[in-house]
Structure 1
Amino acid sequence: MNFASLPDRRAELDPHGAAVFDGHQSLTNVQLLSRVRMAARQLHDLGIGTGDVVALKLTNRVEFVLLLFAAWRLGATITPVNPSMTDVEVVRQLQDSGARLLVVEDGAAVVAHGVAVLGVGELYEGDVEPDQAPLLDPSALALLIYTSGTTGVPKGVMLDHANIDAMVEMGRQALEVGPADRCLLILPLFHVNGIVVSVLMPLLVGASVVIAGRFDPRTFFDLVEQERPTFFSAVPTIYSMLAALPDHVRPDTSSLRFGVCGAAPASAELLTRFEARYGFPLIEGYGLSEGTCGSTINPVAGPRRAGTVGLPFPGQEIRIVDADGGEVALGSDGEVVVRGANVMRGYLGRPDETAKVIVNGGWLRTGDVGHLDADGYLTLVGRSKDMIIRGGENIYPKEIEDVLAGDPSVLEAAVIGVADEKWGEVVVAYVQPRPGSTVDSEALKALCARSLTGYKRPTAFFVVEAIPKNAVGKIDKTSLRAGYAAHSARS
């Protein structure tokens, strides 16, 4: 599918059918096309063309979708920016991506370092002359999704139009969606899941999209009853919040066929309890930004196996390999590797890091540990040992450790994830003072507030005489986790 022309196709097939709605604006297919053409005209007037990068630092709203299609109409690339990022993080992404334009919320204070800035309220209104959407080169870059890495520096995951096309078709087949569906988007649009699964996939099949604002468990089911969606995607933290609502909350969920659960492990108990209470199944899946969102999913109609993350999406292969890359015996644990047309082109400007994760003819090393059963269902038993998942957000400790090490009183820092009932995991930091220095925890909090998005900031700081090391001199995070567990047991 040439996604640059998807609005044209929808307008031709069903001009007055519902397309997207965000609580403030409701667009039919023909209105969507008109607004996309107008946004493309404005981007062109601002000098955006083939190969340019447009950064969107926006909350969930219709304009994000308009600008996505408008940029693709010009052969440009979109890089979504988390609206809660600090100035330091935003500038780093703008510079690394080579963005030529940053679109922001009206009134937002912006430090863009030479990048042109457009307030979302300044988008052109009115009509524009009809144009013809280009037939894009499938290898043209569609999205630059930034993800943290073990080096501590976020990397731009390069997803081309072939990746997007493949993933959307895989999702369409696996989730069995069609024109009668209505998707409720509650995940942020700066995540590839929000863009691909909750916007592009339903729009491709002729379905409609309801774009929700900030998730609130107290009002979520009111929105479900009002908008009557047939499916949505969320993370385990959201399902935990909904499962914890008072017993008297008994909403009408009859419109919902399923909810997709991903981005972090969910317990079989949560999935079972949720379905029993609310009457619709949770379909657990697994994937990475590097794989354009999803690699496995439990069947919508077939057997769902709680505790697994399901079967490979159509068109993808999953293997379990040992440290040397050899395939392990069925049922044995090893690293999960993935291959398919959905696997990213690579990391922007980082060929060496790309070569480390895409190996042996296109297999993507996930860093996650799991095993396959005889029927091909994948069970995850671990993940990249240092990564923290807080409420579905991936956090790599190195980025936080580098910030803490920037304090002149800190000799060394180590960051771990610890269990949290609400978020799944939260961040805890251990710091070792420089000789003769005293660490001020309040100063470290302030430093993190200036440099890190809120979900990455440590919830606790422990000042220790020495960071423990293992036999080869690396930080012993197993020891830190055990120490934290003992501390919590005494508290």
Structure 2
Amino acid sequence: MSDSSTPSVLARIPFRREHRSARAPCVQDRDRALDNADFAEVVRRTARRLEGLGVDRGDTVAVLLPNRAEIVTVMFAAWCRGAALTPINPALTDDEVRYQLRDSCSAVVVGGERAWALASSVGASWVDAETLHRDSHEPPVGPGAEVLPLADASDVALVIYTSGTTGRPKGVLLDHSNLDAMSTSLIEHFELTAADRSLLVLPLFHVNGLVVSVLSPLRAGGDVVVAPRFSPDTFWDVVEVNRPTYFSAVPTVYSVLDTHTDRAVDTSSLRFAICGAAPAPAELVSRFERRFDVPVVEGYGLSEGSVASTINPVAGPRKPGTVGVALPGQEVLVVSDDGRPQRPGERGEVVVRGANVMRGYLGRPEETAAVLRAGWLHTGDVGILDEDGYLRIVDRMKDMIIRGGENIYPKEVEDCLHRHPGVVEAAVVGKPDEKYGEVPVAFVVVRPGSAVTAEELIGHCAASLARYKTPAEMHVRDQLPKNSVGKLVKGPLRAAVSATTPIDASPGNRRCAT
């Protein structure tokens, strides 16, 4: 943890930018465009609103909004008060929102009428988001005025909640030194400058959107376009009109764009695109690059590591099927069960060390101690490092299927399915089995108009995989379950196969389901 006298990441983004015009663009969404001076003015006014509600250092401000510019201005205003921001997914139920508000001890909730009702139910104050850009209660303070106090490096900046797939969501505590290290690393790796414009595609309740698509370009002197809700029918129009230099998205977005784009598109403004949050099929990445003439750099990271730990280079060698090399300022190892570093090509758990690693989980010392050991963040992911330091994610340790004593990594089977030209998405889960303990079961989405059958896909797997790895069942679906970020979630699939009748999983006996 940094000394409290060290400046926060907020100090890295001066509101008086000597190297840029005060009227240069800063943040825009569908409803408004803020230049540097406008942005600074809104942040100051919002900070004064928060001050009037008693927000001070160590407090938490919640924001419950869909993607819009106010989330960014509220984040900076909270930091100007020395407070943390906890962004809330609007798709959560009221009970789930109340849990996050109570767990984070949020003093203020920014949002609409729903936020008002939820804030009242937990005893928090409320700020109407609609007033933040037209508040006339305070006179303008001018673009050169200083905002004090600034948060220190050791103050918590973000409380980001995990998806809660293994229990109640946990609040990941990221302080300003974490965000400083992470954004510095991204700026160096991507060579971001004032000429860069990010197109924000991912939701702002996730650390990827906040750090990769907002904080990093603003620190570099660039600007941010908050995109409308993603649709393959309008995405390329947004790119062609706004001319971003990069965007960050999940594999599902790339798959949908590849499947549903039926016209020539102008991608000449894009220097690169980032793919993260889940492993992407190598075939999808390569196909997207060839078709749209945009380098796609796949990366890997966790909220606990401030978003990213490895990314493929933009200019250097990119290895499809890998998630790249360690970012500047970070160490990434693959270790055995006893913590011994594995040799290149050997599987083990991925561990990460660097100034980007979280302070811990809010109010959960035991769970913090379980993942932060001897200075390393234990990710729970199985990976392999090659001789050049490129990381390949094999799977989640908890997702591994053990069939009759044989380890099966679902991603290996999923990668095989993705090599079939008719497959758009694939997910493999373990199904309880009396004889073998578990057997692999596959769920796929096929390309529109494709006549591929479940039987054909089982044969495709059997031609490339050992018999024990070949799915015992193949289910063709119209869609697969995803979370609000667009990342595929396997919980509902596991529940579905656990509820079905037992099968004869002997090699050669396969159930096909459509």
TM tier relative to shorter chain: 0.7 to 0.9
1:290 — aligned with what?
Answer: 304
Match among 125, 129, 135 for residue 116 of structure 1: 125
Matches within 5 A, 1:255-270: 255-270=269-284
1:460 positional shift: 9.3
2:37 — aligned with what?
Answer: 30
1:271 — aligned with what?
Answer: 285
Q: Which moved more, 1:130-139 or 1:21-30?
A: 130-139
1:156 corresponds to 2:168: no
1:407 — aligned with what?
Answer: none
Q: Distance in 1 between matches of 2:214 and 2:350?
A: 28
1:156 positional shift: 0.5
What RMSD over aligned residues (CA atoms) do the two structures have, in Å?
3.2
**Deviations 1:181-212, CA, capped at 9 Å, x for gaps:** 11100100000010001001000011111011
1:326 corresponds to 2:340: yes
1:111 positional shift: 2.9
State the SS of the aligned residue for 2:382: strand
1:93 — aligned with what?
Answer: 100
Match among 62, 71, 76 for residue 78 of structure 2: 71
Match among 334, 337, 358 for residue 372 of structure 2: 358
**Deviations 1:382-403, CA, capped at 9 Å, x for gaps:** 11324999xxxxxxx9xxxxxx
Residue 310 of structure 1 aligns to which amino acid in structure 2?
G
State the SS of the aligned residue for 2:294: coil
TM value normalised by structure 2: 0.76
1:4 corresponds to 2:10: yes
Residue 308 of structure 2 aligns to which amino acid in structure 1?
G
2:422 — aligned with what?
Answer: none
> Are 2:233 and 2:261, in contact at CA under 8 Å, matched by a contact in 1?
no
After superposition, the Cα gap between the structure-2 partners of 1:136 and 1:178, relative to the gap in structure 1 and judged at 3 Å, is same
Q: Which moved more, 1:376-385 or 1:9-18?
A: 9-18
1:151 positional shift: 4.6
After superposition, the Cα gap between the structure-2 partners of 1:288 and 1:378, relative to the gap in structure 1 and judged at 3 Å, is same
After superposition, the Cα gap between the structure-2 partners of 1:227 and 1:107, relative to the gap in structure 1 and judged at 3 Å, is same
**Deviations 1:294-337, CA, capped at 9 Å, x for gaps:** 00000011000011000000010011111111112221000000
Q: Distance in 2 between matches of 1:125 and 1:159?
A: 30
1:216 — aligned with what?
Answer: 231
Match among 198, 207, 216 for residue 222 of structure 2: 207
Q: Distance in 2 between matches of 1:286 and 1:31?
A: 35
State the SS of the aligned residue for 1:111: helix
Q: Distance in 2 between matches of 1:32 and 1:132?
A: 13
1:63 positional shift: 0.6
State the SS of the aligned residue for 1:256: coil
Q: Distance in 2 between matches of 1:55 and 1:284?
A: 31
After superposition, the Cα gap between the structure-2 partners of 1:482 and 1:87, relative to the gap in structure 1 and judged at 3 Å, is farther
Residue 381 of structure 2 aligns to which amino acid in structure 1?
D
Q: Which moved more, 1:146-155 or 1:126-135?
A: 126-135
1:39 corresponds to 2:54: no
State the SS of the aligned residue for 1:217: coil
2:394 — aligned with what?
Answer: 381
> Are 2:109 and 2:116, in contact at CA under 8 Å, matched by a contact in 1?
no
1:252 positional shift: 0.6
1:459 positional shift: 7.2
1:281 positional shift: 1.0
1:273 positional shift: 0.6
Matches within 5 A, 1:291-440: 291-360=305-374, 362-386=375-399, 419-421=443-445
After superposition, the Cα gap between the structure-2 partners of 1:329 and 1:303, relative to the gap in structure 1 and judged at 3 Å, is same
Q: Percent same amino acid at aligned positions?
A: 50
> Are 2:85 and 2:159, in contact at CA under 8 Å, matched by a contact in 1?
yes
After superposition, the Cα gap between the structure-2 partners of 1:5 and 1:118, relative to the gap in structure 1 and judged at 3 Å, is same
State the SS of the aligned residue for 2:304: helix
2:68 — aligned with what?
Answer: 61
5+ residue gaps, structure 2, are: 1-6, 401-409, 412-428, 430-437, 448-485
1:143 — aligned with what?
Answer: 158
> Are 1:7 and 1:29, in contact at CA under 8 Å, matched by a contact in 2?
no
Q: Distance in 2 between matches of 1:184 and 1:67?
A: 19
**Deviations 1:240-274, CA, capped at 9 Å, x for gaps:** 00001244x11111000110000001111101111
1:13 positional shift: 3.7
1:230 — aligned with what?
Answer: 245
After superposition, the Cα gap between the structure-2 partners of 1:267 and 1:30, relative to the gap in structure 1 and judged at 3 Å, is same
Q: Distance in 2 between matches of 1:259 and 1:98?
A: 37
> Are 2:333 and 2:341, in contact at CA under 8 Å, matched by a contact in 1?
yes
1:177 positional shift: 1.0
